[in-house]
C-alpha cells in the first residue's frame, strides 16, 4: 500500500467500509479484500464483550479508522473531558490509522441530542472550534481529521464561507480534513451552490480521507429540492461523478463507504467498495499518465 508522507492519515489509498455487527463473522471468515474498516468510536465505549473482541480481530487484519460522532466539537460549551478520556482509551488500545470527527455539535445543557447539528460560521465560532480542535489533539496526542457537514439550513449571521472556515481551522490547528463528498452534494443542492466549485476551492492537500454515502431526496417549504444525508442506500450517481472530479484534483485518497441505516448484506456493501476502488485506480492511472507526459 502507498501512503503519501504529507497526508493526514496512514490509511491506504483504497476503499474502506463501515464495520457493522451483522458482518463481523462474514469478514473474519471470508477476509474480503477491503482497504480498511471504520467504526463509530461511541459504539466501542462499552467495558467489554463481543464488540471489542470482534474489533480486535478485525483491527489485526485491516487498517482501522476511528470516527467519532459524539464529541460535539462545534458546541459553544466546553468539550466533555470524560468523553475525551474515553476516546483516548480507545485510541491507545486500537492504535487506529486515522481519527476523525465532525464540524457539528450534538450536546447541549439538555444532554446528548444524537444528531450532527449545524453552527454559524463567524469569527466567534471559528475561534471556539479552533480551541476545541487544539484541545482534542492535545488530549489524544495525535492529529485528527475534521469533516465537512451536511446541512439543511443557513444562519443569517454567518460571515465566513464553509470551505474558508474549514481551511482556517486546519491551518491554525494542524488538523487534517475529512472530505465527505456526499455532504458536499447535499449541502450544495440544499443551499443552491455549485458542488464542483466547492470541491475546486477545497484544500485537497489537507484531506486525509473521503466519505461517500447515499442521500435521500425531498422538497422544502418553497418546493426546492432538499437532499437528506440518509446513509441508507448505495452512493448516488451524481456523487460518484463528484468523487471522480475530486480525485482528479487530489489523486487517490482513502475512501469510506458509509451505509449505516438499512444495512445490506456484506456482498451488496462490498460492491460499493469495489466500485470506489475502480474510481481510485482510474485516478491513480490518470495521475501516472499526467506525470509520465
Partner 1 sequence: MTMGFNESQSAFAAALLDPGLPLPQGITTARGVTDPLRFAVYRNNVYVGLTTALGQRFPVTKRLVGSEFFAGMARTYAADHKPATPLIIHYGDDFPDFIAAFPPAASLAYLPDVARIEVAWTRAYHAADRLPLDVAKIAAVPPERIAEMSLVPHPSAGLVRSDFPAGTIWSAHQGEAVAPVTEWRAEAVLVVRPAMHVEIRFLPPGDAAFAACLLEGTTLGTAAQKAFAAAPDFDFGSALIGLVGLGAFSAFEAFEGKLP
Tell me how far, at minimum, the Cβ of 219 lies from partner 1, in Å: 8
Site for partner 1 in 163-222 (CB under 8 A): 190-193, 220-222
The minimum distance between CB 69 and partner 1, in angstroms, equals 7
Residue in 81, 108, 201, 249 binding partner 1, rule: CB under 8 A: 108
Question: Which of 3, 10, 26, 80 is in the footprint of partner 1 by CB under 8 A?
Answer: 80
Give every CB contact of residue 215 below 8 A, 6+ residues apart in sequence: 182, 185, 186, 227, 228, 229, 230, 233, 236, 239
- Residue from 33, 56, 92, 115 touching partner 1 (CB under 8 A): that is 115
Residue 288 binds partner 1 (CB under 8 A): no
Among positions 2, 6, 114, 237, the unique one binding partner 1 when judged by CB under 8 A: 114
Side-chain half-sphere exposure of 173, counting CA atoms within 13 A: 29
C-alpha neighbours within 13 Å on the C-beta side of residue 114: 1
CB 32 within 8 A of CB 269: no
Handedness of CA 4, 8, 9, 13 (dihedral sign): negative
Q: Any residues with CB less than 8 A from the CB of 144 and at least 6 apart, and which?
A: 99, 100, 101, 133, 136, 137, 175, 176
Candidates 5, 49, 289, 292; binder of partner 1 (CB under 8 A) is 49
5 part of the interface to partner 1, by CB under 8 A: no
Q: Which residues bind partner 1 (CB under 8 A)?
A: 42-43, 45-53, 69-72, 75-77, 80, 82-83, 86, 105-115, 117, 119-120, 122, 124-125, 128, 152-157, 190-193, 220-222, 224, 226, 228
Amino acid at each position: 500500500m502507498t501512503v503519501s508522507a504529507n497526508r493526514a492519515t496512514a490509511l491506504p489509498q483504497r476503499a474502506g467500509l463501515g464495520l457493522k455487527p451483522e458482518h463481523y463473522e462474514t469478514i473474519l471468515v471470508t477476509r474480503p479484500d477491503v482497504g480498511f474498516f471504520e467504526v463509530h468510536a461511541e459504539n466501542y465505549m462499552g467495558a467489554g464483550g463481543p464488540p471489542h473482541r470482534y474489533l480486535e480481530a478485525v483491527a489485526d487484519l485491516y487498517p482501522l479508522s476511528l470516527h467519532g460522532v459524539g464529541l460535539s466539537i462545534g458546541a459553544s460549551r466546553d468539550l466533555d473531558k470524560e468523553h475525551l478520556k474515553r476516546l483516548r482509551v480507545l485510541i491507545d488500545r486500537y492504535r487506529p490509522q486515522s481519527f476523525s470527527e465532525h464540524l457539528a455539535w450534538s450536546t447541549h445543557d439538555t444532554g446528548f441530542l444524537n444528531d450532527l447539528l449545524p453552527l454559524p460560521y463567524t469569527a466567534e465560532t471559528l475561534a471556539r472550534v479552533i480551541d476545541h480542535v487544539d484541545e482534542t489533539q492535545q488530549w489524544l496526542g495525535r492529529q485528527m481529521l475534521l469533516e465537512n457537514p451536511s446541512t439543511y439550513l443557513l444562519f443569517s449571521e454567518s460571515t465566513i464561507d464553509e470551505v474558508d472556515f474549514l481551511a482556517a481551522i486546519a491551518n491554525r490547528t494542524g488538523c487534517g480534513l475529512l472530505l465527505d463528498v456526499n455532504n458536499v452534494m447535499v449541502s450544495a443542492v440544499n443551499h443552491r451552490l455549485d458542488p464542483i466549485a466547492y470541491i475546486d476551492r477545497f484544500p485537497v492537500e489537507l484531506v486525509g480521507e473521503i466519505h461517500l454515502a447515499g442521500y435521500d431526496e425531498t422538497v422544502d417549504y418553497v418546493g426546492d429540492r432538499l437532499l437528506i444525508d440518509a446513509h441508507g442506500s448505495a452512493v448516488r450517481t451524481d456523487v460518484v461523478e463528484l468523487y471522480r472530479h475530486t480525485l482528479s484534483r487530489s489523486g487517490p485518497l482513502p475512501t469510506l463507504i458509509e451505509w449505516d441505516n438499512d444495512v445490506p448484506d456484506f456482498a451488496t456493501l462490498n460492491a460499493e467498495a469495489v466500485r470506489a476502488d475502480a474510481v481510485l485506480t482510474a485516478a491513480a492511472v490518470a495521475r501516472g499518465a499526467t506525470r509520465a507526459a
